[in-house]
Structure 1
Amino acid sequence: MGEYTAQLVAEKRRYPADDLISQLIASEDEGDQLNQDEFMSMIPLLIFAGHETTSNLI
């Protein structure tokens, strides 16, 4: 998961889109910074949290 997250962040840095990860990166550029550990742990947490709530709702 860590490797996937690192690749995803690198891709979003090169090609920002209209998504949450790109917005987190953009806010990082504006000075509201998370440290690297916080940033890399937040993304898997968001993925699993979104999956868990959606599957429980269904």
Structure 2
Amino acid sequence: MFDEGAKFRREYEECRRQAGVTRDPSSKAQWLLFAAEWQERAETAEALAKREADTASAK
């Protein structure tokens, strides 16, 4: 099964890394916004995967 949560976490980490190396405040802010969006997607995907796993184990 494809682990979307892990993929989204990797994107989050990359955006955080980019924010850490840029010197431009505007670019840093944009990278941090991207990171926040990826983090939200990761959390949503992880919650969905947990719900699906719980449903499957209850059968």
- Please confirm whether the aligned pair reaches a TM-score higher than 0.5, indicating the same fold: no
Query: TM-score, structure 1 length as denominator?
Result: 0.39
Could you say which structure has the higher helix fraction? 2
Query: TM-score, structure 2 length as denominator?
Result: 0.38
Greater relative contact order (Cα 8 A, min sep 6): structure 1 or 2? 2
